[in-house]
Amino acid sequence: MGKVIAVSGKGGVGKTLVSALLIKYLIESGKNRILAIDADPDSNLAESLGVEFKKTIGDLREEITELKNLAGLEKKKYLDAKAFEITVETEKFDLIVMGRPEGQGCYCAINHMLRDIIDQTTKSYDYTVIDAEAGLEHLSRRTTQNVDIMLVVTDASKKGLQTAKRINELAGELDIKFDKIYLILNRVKKESREKMLEEAKTTGIEIIGEIPDDGEVLNYDLNGIPLINLPKESNVCKEIEIIGGKIINE
């Protein structure tokens, strides 16, 4: 059975950075059979990994609603085949992009089928890294209900820390159990580190790492350079290496 890792948090706190660099770490550690799932509607993970995609799970959801004459089992077979087709395969990892959330109408049955497909797909990989939806949606939709390790990312903002705390609380309320849930502090500055650590304790989540504030990350973003190309020697990659090592050895 493979290990499924989800990366969550408020929008803009660095979820995609952590997801992309965690995949980079797994590759450089010699791990094979890696699946990346871009579950954020903004679909930034593909760009951060330097991969192009043509279709998303959201596109399949819309397609299947147009097929009015298909019975439930036929829809499931259709989705199985199409989900395989939209998986982007690279030499070092595969990628599935979830795409846009639901439009108008009822998608409950289709969403249930899609969750089953994703759950079955992850079993074929040693490691799956999910860049989850921002905020709490992934919990309420239960798209991260079968996750082994939940990484919650926050910056020093009050909203970022509040979201982290709420993710921990809501998982308990919904009886969603992870093997481990960890907090990652991002954009940590020396002058505000102690205050950030003090506030982070209020989330009730164990801190697994502190990613330093690094202008090189911003430079890559501004110039459209995939984050996976950050040099291994960068302070950010070094911290992800420490975090990744702890996760792999769980």
pLDDT band at 145 (very low <50, low <70, confident <90, very high): low
Mean pLDDT of 197-226: 96
How many Å apart are CA 8 and CA 17, to the nearest integer?
11
Residue 114: partners with Cβ closer than 8 Å, 6 or more residues away: 57, 60, 61, 79, 83
Mean pLDDT of 160-179: 91
195: domain CATH number is 3.40.50.300
H/E element, 137: helix 137-140
H/E element, 101: none
What local confidence, expressed as pLDDT, does residue 108 receive? 56
How many Å apart are CA 210 and CA 53, to the nearest integer?
32
Q: Which two tokens stand for residue 159?
A: 């909203």
Q: What are 57-90's pLDDT values in tens digits?
A: 888 877 777 776 666 667 777 777 887 888 999 9
Task: Kindly report which listed range (32-46, 59-73, 142-156, 166-180) carries the lowest average pLDDT score.
Answer: 59-73
Mean pLDDT of the chain: 87
What local confidence, expressed as pLDDT, does residue 22 receive? 98
**92 within 8 A of 33, measured Cβ to Cβ:** no
Mean pLDDT of 142-166: 89
Neighbours of 30 (CB within 10 A): 6
Amino acid at the residue 164: A
Tokens 């490691």 belong to 127
**24 within 8 A of 17, measured Cβ to Cβ:** no
Nearest Cα neighbor of 80 from 119, 129, 131 is 119
What share of the chain in percent tops pLDDT 90? 62
Mean pLDDT of 90-113: 71
Instruction: Please determine, for residue 185, whether its predicted confidence score (pLDDT) is greater than 80.
Output: yes
What local confidence, expressed as pLDDT, does residue 142 receive? 63
Instruction: Please determine, for residue 107, whether its predicted confidence score (pLDDT) is greater than 50.
Output: no
Question: What is the tally of structural domains in the chain?
Answer: 1
pLDDT band at 168 (very low <50, low <70, confident <90, very high): very high
Mean pLDDT of 87-102: 87
What local confidence, expressed as pLDDT, does residue 105 receive? 45
Domain that holds residue 174: 3-248
CA 79 to chain centre: 22
What local confidence, expressed as pLDDT, does residue 237 receive? 98
Q: How far is CA 185 from CA 102, 162, 227, in A?
A: 31, 13, 18
pTM of the complete model: 0.90
Nearest 5 degrees, angle CA 229-CA 119-CA 45?
Answer: 20
DSSP type of residue 132: P
Task: Kindly report which listed range (9-13, 65-69, 157-161) carries the lowest average pLDDT score.
Answer: 65-69
Q: What are 40-61's pLDDT values in tens digits?
A: 877 799 999 999 999 888 888 7
183: number of CA atoms within 13 Å, CB side?
Answer: 25
pLDDT band at 180 (very low <50, low <70, confident <90, very high): very high
